[in-house]
Amino acid sequence: MNQDYIKPDNWSIIEEGFDISRVKSSESLFSIGNGAMGQRANFEEYYSGPTFQGSYIAGVYYPDKTKVGWWKNGYPEYFAKVINAPNWIGINITINGEQLDLNACKKVEKFRRELNMKEGWLSRTFTATLQNNIEISVQTKRFLNLELDEVGAIEYSIQLLNSDADICFEPYLDSGITNEDTNWDDKFWNTTNVTHNDSQAFIEAHTMKTLFHTCTYMQSQCFINDTEVNLSPEIFKNETKIAFQYSASVKKGDTFAIQKFGGYLVDRNHDKDQLTEAAKNVLSKATSLGFDGLLKMQKSAWASIWEMADITIDGDMKAQQGIRFNIFHLNQTYLGKDSTLNIGPKGFTGEKYGGSTYWDTEAYCIPFYMATKDQNVARSLLEYRFKHLEKAIENAQKLGFKNGAALYPMVTMNGEECHNEWEITFEEIHRNGAIAFAIYNYYRFTNDYSYIVEKGQEVLIGIARFWQQRATFSKAKNKYVILGVTGPNEYENNVNNNFYTNYIAKWCIDYALENIVKIEKDYTGDYKRIVSKTGISEDELDRWKEVAENMYFPFDEERNIYLQQDGFLDKELITVSDLPKDQRPINQKWSWDRILRSPYIKQADTLQGLYFFEDHFTTQELERHFDFYEPFTVHESSLSPCVHSIQAAKLDRMEQAYEFYLRTSRLDLDDYNKEVHEGLHITSMAGTWMSVVEGFGGMRIKNGTLSFNPKIPDLWNGYSFKINFRNQILKVVIKQNETNFEHNGTQDLQILVKGKQVNITPNNPVKV
């Protein structure tokens, strides 16, 4: 944890001073992306210090052969890896023949890095004294254009401070790159063509096995003191790299600058044989707009996003910076334009975890996208799973399930499982529940039942079938039990009757049944199609009912709480506050057996159930469970603090809610879990949004009505957010003593505020 490293600022992430030990962490924090591609904040110029080079193209992956100690039946053959793509940002620099390398300079001063979230660009300034005693002042700016999402732009300028010198910029493309995360050191890329003309260069390369064809391109322009100069580059080329050298003799005090345009084209969007031609078209558009024109577009595109998605917090700059950091990175990662994409846990900021899609998407991200974008974005995320239904059925078959039972993978790129620890792959089956819950959540929020009728119900049937088959009857308990699972708290493995899993399993069956009845009644044609396609029968539905009605839930009469799993009370119930600090994080200090037999909870588990199904429990029940479980929770999952923040707010424990809020919103900025160098926790960022809107704002949908129960941390003067509720955009401004609602839509909006009906007419602010 490092609370004071990033400078507080309302709109920017700012680092001041050059600290070699922080380079990898900052590369993560200052990452940029535009939904189609993204990259860590690696330096453009050569850097010999510790660095983690990463540039990623959305949807481009490699199926890395599975690596295990001991093979188990049912393991997938491969693990889809997010892979480092060819480098297009590189600009090597020499000054009087000496290479600029911040790790080798005599001095680096006034180093400042800024990620401007309002406008969507990354800048760096510093002065450096090279070993040859030349002093320079450097300014760089870089962004990935949101609208022209195949285009990135860099401006890199060097002013000579103490003497004349020969400066050479060497912008290059390099497809001879590797991954940090690779199982067998496979070669991921095959470069097929390196071409150029006088000013442009192109590398065509495709991924091995998956055969994603790409073109990486660049074009550069040079300037002296802001005046464009036409320099003829020397061109160097080998099988995987091409570099242009632009050299100039520069006077002391003058500035030599380069603008580089580059990026990727992929065959998802272009004919694979026309990628270089397409890149030329893209470059023509980009250069005609120029760096400034592209930057203007960028500012305007980000302004539109912020217009809808911004949360303002008045009176607490760190909290403000935190929430914007989260919203910014979510929008850099996924914009909902392409329904084949999803939201990887590290986005474009690292390689860890591979794959792109976890239950994080359904449990955490969909609420954010649903409320801050057009509702088609959320629907598109649901359709992603509908498209994978067949593969989920095949996946369940591998594990012995039948008759169309579907088990969605724990991690996936294309619908196939690509995780391989038995306790996760085979046992963390609650993921199926979140996928069903998201369908319910989408309908509850949007009132768009057509999705369920057209697609969702088939998913719900596959999932219900899985749960019915997965539950077994315990004669001893005279109930259905679910044995051998890993719940959301991954610090327990192979437990019996995880409350959360059993509860969501029962709910999934109930919800699938409820919809079958409704569809049969109201959508006869669709009902016939669904019956014919899935082959459901009354007999089968009776088996579902039998399981759902007789599901077992572990319960402790003494404490009047549900137990996380069978046997939880046999543990040594020492709370986290009594755990020595030097033992934490326990996942870095303890062997796995010790973690497993401890009572410590990685993330909300029973409480996750009480979060999803809040209406099923009284506030007193929530309080009892919160009071029992939270003290054992180490929050070593990024997905943990947000749920706790929401529940603490609901319980009027605003101080605790605020603490959890800071922890979730500044998890990466302050590096709570000492791992930000590996990349950011993108999916949990949506949880931060929830902790403001659902936690402090108390937003819920109650019987189809938007409802708020506004609360505000003491420290804050006020905060605001917007919600796209059924295509009307409601702005909510919450202050210490009042809440203001306003929308510019076309129809009146009936909402509930602290349980009371309030009518908001268009363009007519209401104070409550």
Which of 104, 248, 483, 766 is close enough to bind a second copy by CB under 8 A? Answer: 483
Catalytic residue among 15, 135, 204, 490: 490
The residues that bridge with 722 in the sheet, in sequence order, are: 731
Part of the chain binding a second copy (CB under 8 A), chosen from 125-133, 171-179, 395-403, 748-756: 395-403
Nearer CB in complex with a second copy: 329/625: 625
Question: DSSP states of 711-758 as a string?
Answer: ---TT-SEEEEEEEETTEEEEEEEESS-EEEEE-SSS-EEEEETTEEE
Question: DSSP states of 509-549 as a string?
Answer: HHHHHHHHHHHHHH-HHHHHHHHHHH---HHHHHHHHHHHH
Question: DSSP states of 448-500 as a string?
Answer: -THHIIIIIHHHHHHHHHHHHHH-EEETTTTEEE--SB--S-TTS-SBS--HH
Give yes or no for residue 409 binding a second copy (CB under 8 A).
Answer: no
Nearest CA among 257, 228, 233 for reference residue 246: 233
Which of 533, 597, 754, 767 is close enough to bind a second copy by CB under 8 A? Answer: 597
**In 548-635, at which residue ranges do the beta strands (DSSP E only) sit?**
555-556, 561-562
Q: Are the C-beta atoms of 749 and 706 separated by less than 8 Å?
A: yes
Which of 1, 20, 68, 303 is close enough to bind a second copy by CB under 8 A? Answer: 68
- Shortest reach from residue 595's CB to a second copy, in Å: 9
Q: Are the C-beta atoms of 398 and 74 separated by less than 8 Å?
A: yes
Which of 70, 288, 532, 580 is close enough to bind a second copy by CB under 8 A? Answer: 70
Part of the chain binding a second copy (CB under 8 A), chosen from 37-45, 214-222, 590-598, 614-622: 590-598
Instruction: Specify whether 27 is catalytic.
Output: no
Q: Are the C-beta atoms of 733 and 761 separated by less than 8 Å?
A: no
- Shortest reach from residue 578's CB to a second copy, in Å: 15
Part of the chain binding a second copy (CB under 8 A), chosen from 11-19, 67-75, 238-246, 611-619: 67-75
CB contact set of 488 (below 8 Å; sequence gap of 6+): 430, 500, 603, 604, 605, 608, 639
Q: What phi and psi values does residue 316 have, to the nearest 5 degrees?
A: -155, 85
Give yes or no for residue 553 binding a second copy (CB under 8 A).
Answer: no
- Shortest reach from residue 75's CB to a second copy, in Å: 8
Part of the chain binding a second copy (CB under 8 A), chosen from 60-68, 156-164, 222-230, 606-614: 60-68
Give yes or no for residue 226 binding a second copy (CB under 8 A).
Answer: no
- Shortest reach from residue 679's CB to a second copy, in Å: 17
Site map 341..380 versus a second copy, x via CB under 8 A: ----------------------------------------
Both tokens of 264, joined, read 């990727």
Residues found in the chain: 768
Distances (CA, A) of 582 to 3, 503, 585: 18, 36, 8
Give yes or no for residue 422 binding a second copy (CB under 8 A).
Answer: yes
Nearer CB in complex with a second copy: 54/554: 554
| Block residue for tokens 């070993």 | 131
Give yes or no for residue 729 binding a second copy (CB under 8 A).
Answer: no
- Shortest reach from residue 531's CB to a second copy, in Å: 30
DSSP reduced 3-state for 610: helix
Give yes or no for residue 240 binding a second copy (CB under 8 A).
Answer: no
Nearest CA among 698, 687, 677 for reference residue 635: 687
Give yes or no for residue 48 binding a second copy (CB under 8 A).
Answer: no
Give yes or no for residue 555 binding a second copy (CB under 8 A).
Answer: no
Both tokens of 65, joined, read 């052969």
Residue 305 CB coordination number (10 Å): 20
Which of 285, 398, 624, 726 is close enough to bind a second copy by CB under 8 A? Answer: 398
Part of the chain binding a second copy (CB under 8 A), chosen from 48-56, 124-132, 410-418, 488-496: 488-496
Give yes or no for residue 578 binding a second copy (CB under 8 A).
Answer: no
Give yes or no for residue 484 binding a second copy (CB under 8 A).
Answer: yes
- Shortest reach from residue 590's CB to a second copy, in Å: 6
Q: What phi and psi values does residue 208 have, to the nearest 5 degrees?
A: -70, 150
Give yes or no for residue 494 binding a second copy (CB under 8 A).
Answer: yes
- Shortest reach from residue 637's CB to a second copy, in Å: 15
CB contact set of 679 (below 8 Å; sequence gap of 6+): 28, 31, 40, 54, 346, 347, 349, 350, 351, 352
Nearer CB in complex with a second copy: 280/571: 571
What's the sign of the alpha-carbon dihedral 94, 97, 103, 107? negative
Part of the chain binding a second copy (CB under 8 A), chosen from 53-61, 62-70, 86-94, 534-542: 62-70
For 191, the enclosing helix (H) or strand (E) is: strand 189-196
Give yes or no for residue 161 binding a second copy (CB under 8 A).
Answer: no
Nearer CB in complex with a second copy: 314/423: 423
Binding interface with a second copy (CB under 8 A) = 66-70, 72-74, 398-400, 420-422, 426-427, 472-477, 481, 483-484, 493-497, 566-567, 569-573, 587-594, 596-597
Active site residues: 490
